Structures are given as structure tokens and as C-alpha cells.
Amino acid sequence: MSYQEFSEYIDSEIDLLATQSFTDVAPELDMPQDQAQRLTALVQEKFDARCREHFSRSNRDALLRRITDSQASSKLRQLQTVMDTVGDFQRQEIGPDIREIADGQDGTRAMFSLDRLVHALRDLPKVTLVDATDVPGSSLVREYDSLHSTLCEKIQALALARRYHGEMEAQRTQLEALVEAIRATRSESVQEYCRDYDACVADQLRHTCELVETLVKRDGSIPPDLLAELKTLVASLPAAQE
């Protein structure tokens, strides 16, 4: 159960208990009714007071913390049991590596080697039952096989992520450099920065075309097709079309 599910369950059970009424049993008591009513009213008052005292929000939160802590400890014990009993986990690197993540040898959160983890998984035996019907320990074998397959899939995902990590870091660095460049121009937006950049390139190309055209008129040494290509390039820029 999740934290929210535990909280809702505790609240519903406490509310059900706290709404009990004792006044309805007064007619069933073997005593005068006025005394029975006073007695049940007193019991109800004491009961409601104890409920308010013991079922306060702080006490509910404390109980919820104890339950969730117990659940987390139980899961950790189950993981430790699997580490120590399934196959050769205790003699492979995967066991110590995962324990280092949980504990940390120097008091800090430890890291582990993905390569060592891959090799450890490859060294683990693969178990297959020809006929799992009524075989002692078959459930443990299926659990082991499922755990082994799941770990292999997760390791493959980690290896793939590490393969692309360098490329993604390079792209992130380029994006950060672009953002810093945009900030340096005091532009209000990326669109404004791009328009200014295109305009600057277009001005430079126009100037180049003018120089080339001057050379063509003066010396006739620049082929007309080259000049036409330069003009086409300038005209293709967004800034030149405005």
C-alpha cells in the first residue's frame, strides 16, 4: 500500500471507532432509565474524550510513520534475504555493490560500477525447470528467474543511457552556451536574437555581393553564375525577405 492508502485506511478505521454511540444501550440496562441514561451519557463523554486524546492528528501521523517505516524495513530485509540466499549473489559483486548503495562505506551514499554489475549478472547461473509441477522449490526457481531477467533488463537500460549520456551532455553544453550568448546581447527573446543574427548575416552577404559586383564590373573576372548564386543565397535568408 502507498502512503496515501495507509493514511486513508487509518482515518476510516479511526472514524468508524470514534463514532460509536453508547446512549442507545440505555433502555437495555437493568436499572432505572434515568440512571441508565446518566451512566451511558457519562460513558459516552469519557469515550469521546479518550478518542480525542488518543486519535489526535499528531498521534495518527506518528502511527502512520511507524507503519511506513516498518514496511520499508520489511522490504529491505526481503531484499537482503534474496541477496544472501539466491544463487551465488553473496559471492558476486552485485551483492556488495547494492549494499554499498544502501549503507555507504564512508557514511555517504556510495556508487557502484556498472561494468562489474554486468559481469556479475553474466556469471549468475540460469535455471530452467523442464516440469515445474509439484517440484519442491519451484516457486523459488521461478522467483530467481524473474529477478534475474528483470535485473538484466534494467542493466541494459542503464548501459543504453550511459552510451547516450556523453552526447546529451554535449548538447546541453551547446544549449547553455547559446542561452548565455542570447543573454549577452540583452535580447528579450530567442526569436529576437535569431532575427538579429539573420539580419547581421544578410548585411554581410549584401556587402559581399556589392564587392563581387564591383569586381565583375571592373575586371570581369567573376563569373555571372557565381554572382547569381550569391544573390540567391542572400534572398533566401528570412531577414532579406522582410
Query: Please, which pLDDT band fits residue 165 given cuts at 50, 70 and 90?
Result: confident
In one letter, which amino acid is 194?
C
14 or 233: whose pLDDT is higher? 14
* pLDDT one-digit tens code per residue, 91-141: 444 444 444 444 444 444 444 566 666 666 666 666 555 445 545 556 777
Residue 85's pLDDT is 55
What DSSP assignment string belongs to 167-203?
HHHHHHHHHHHHHHHHHHTT-SSHHHHHHHHHHHHHH
Residue 175 above 60 pLDDT? yes
For helices 224-236 and 190-219, angle between their N-to-C axes, nearest 10 degrees: 160
Asked if 153 and 225 sit in the same domain, the reply is no
Residue 242's pLDDT is 53
- Full domain range(s) for residue 224: 190-241
Mean of pLDDT values over 34-59: 79
**What's the CA gap between 97 and 112, in Å, rounded?**
6
Range with the poorest average pLDDT among 108-112, 150-154, 233-237:
108-112
What DSSP assignment string belongs to 66-128?
HHHHHHHHHHHHHHHHHHHHSTTGGGSTHHHHHHHHHH-TTSS-----HHHHHHHHHHSPP--
Asked if 202 and 236 sit in the same domain, the reply is yes
Whether residue 177 lies inside any domain: the answer is: no
Report the chain's mean pLDDT, rounded to a whole number.
70
Asked if 232 and 222 sit in the same domain, the reply is yes
Residue 33's pLDDT is 72
Mean of pLDDT values over 39-48: 80
Residue 158 above 70 pLDDT? yes
What is each CA distance from 37 to 50, 68, 70, 92, 150, in whole angstroms? 20, 42, 44, 72, 65
Residue 101's pLDDT is 44
Q: Is 137 left (phi over 0), alpha (psi -120 to 50) or beta?
A: left
77 or 90: whose pLDDT is higher? 77
**What's the CA gap between 73 and 102, in Å, rounded?**
12
- How many domains does the chain divide into? 3
Q: What is the dihedral of CA 91, 93, 94, 98, to 10 degrees?
A: 110
Mean of pLDDT values over 139-156: 76
**What's the CA gap between 54 and 72, in Å, rounded?**
25
- Whether 121 and 114 have beta carbons less than 8 Å apart is answered as no
Residue 84's pLDDT is 59
* pLDDT one-digit tens code per residue, 182-225: 777 766 677 777 777 778 877 877 877 777 777 767 766 666 67
Asked if 57 and 103 sit in the same domain, the reply is no
Whether residue 170 lies inside any domain: the answer is: no
* pLDDT one-digit tens code per residue, 57-66: 788 788 888 8
Whether residue 90 lies inside any domain: the answer is: yes
